[in-house]
Amino acid sequence: MALALVLLGVLLLYLGGELLVRNAALLARALGMSPLVVGLTVVAFGTSAPELAASLAAALKGRPEVAFGNVLGSNAANLGLILAVAALIRPVRAQARFLRRELPFMVAVAGLLLLVAADARVSRLEGAGLLFLLAVYLLVLLGDREPPEVEAEFAAEYGRAARYLLLRTALLALGVGLLTLGANALVEGAVTLARALGASERAIGLTVVAVGTSLPELAAALVAALRREGDILLGNVVGSNVFNVLGILGTVAVVRPLVLERGIGPDLLGVFLLSLVAWFFLWTGMRLGRREALLLLAFYLGLVFYVF
């Protein structure tokens, strides 16, 4: 039964990722938005739905460490696993504006998390502050437009998308739904298998659950890499990391303030350093090549090994 759930989850994740990435790119043209902005908003937030559901459920059940660990583990997986694996398939190129603003903001949010968690608690007021910062960030993003030459190139490829706005929206929503169902099925199956193999609950929560809830981002990123949608891929990863801290942690803290066993620890510092390393690799040459991707993956695996 557990193996069947894992296989079903993989299938749903692939189908959902294909629907989500394809229709997000088309919807971007229909709404006059760039694919990067859609990746940072619609795709990133849609694929972060499993993290939000898992963290909220953990907090409401009185398990703040699981909720906080899920955010940390998901952010680490986004950079060290998802972005790295996608770059191994096809090197990822970044726009100059992305390197100047989106990536530094992601690193700043990771640094903000260090400050928020320093006293081993996330209060309701701090959660509200995180949500306010997310709202400001979204307003800035939604006011962005691409240069005329980029708009013309995008219109040539996706010009007919505006005729099918309702259809594209429905298919995108279906993709998000399939991703969420697939992630839930895969996590449930993986946890059952891990328990049968004798893995600890702590190890399952910090690795299997965190990676499992990041599977929608992995599916969307792999499809984007295969379709050469570099903007969607980077926007999805960076937008998810921003949303995990500002949106998910902010929402959870507002609903139920988190009291943690410890403040700043090696795992939290590791996620911050992983953000810095990813930024550095993308900044040098405006791309993430296969060698850099292998180093990111090694960094992530080392962090997972430390957790165990």
The neighbour count for residue 260, using CB atoms within 10 Å, is 17
**Please, which residues have CB within 8 angstroms of residue 158's CB and are 6 or more apart in sequence?**
25, 26, 28, 29
* pLDDT for 157: 45
Residue 168 within any structural domain of the chain: no
Residue 98 within any structural domain of the chain: yes
Q: Which amino acid would we find at residue 261?
A: E
* pLDDT for 296: 92
Q: Which amino acid would we find at residue 110?
A: A
* Token representation of residue 97: 């504006």
Residue 186 within any structural domain of the chain: no
Give the whole-angstrom CA distance, residue 299 versus residue 308.
Answer: 15
Widest Cα–Cα separation across the chain: 58
| Spatial contact of 23 and 168, defined as CB atoms under 8 Å apart | yes
Residue 5 within any structural domain of the chain: no
* pLDDT for 164: 66
Low-confidence ranges of the chain (pLDDT < 50): 149-150, 153-154, 156-159, 161-162
How big is the chain, counted in residues?
308
Residue 270 within any structural domain of the chain: yes
Crossing angle of helices 49-60/215-226, nearest 10°? 170
Residue 178 within any structural domain of the chain: no
| pLDDT tens readout for residues 44-62 | 666 677 777 777 777 887 7
* pLDDT for 99: 78
Residue 57 within any structural domain of the chain: yes
* pLDDT for 215: 73
Question: Tell me, what CATH number does 237's domain have?
Answer: 1.20.1420.30
What are the residue ranges of helices labelled H in 210-289?
Answer: 210-213, 215-226, 230-243, 250-255, 266-283
Residue 184 within any structural domain of the chain: no
Q: Which helix (H) or strand (E) holds 258?
A: strand 258-259
* pLDDT for 203: 61
Domain of 41 in residue numbering reads as 34-146+200-307
* pLDDT for 128: 96
Nearest residue to 231 via CA among 218, 17, 239 = 239
* pLDDT for 150: 46
Provide the domain count of the chain.
Answer: 1
Nearest residue to 81 via CA among 212, 255, 252, 228 = 212
Helix (H/G/I), strand (E/B), else coil: 287: strand
* pLDDT for 158: 45
* pLDDT for 233: 77
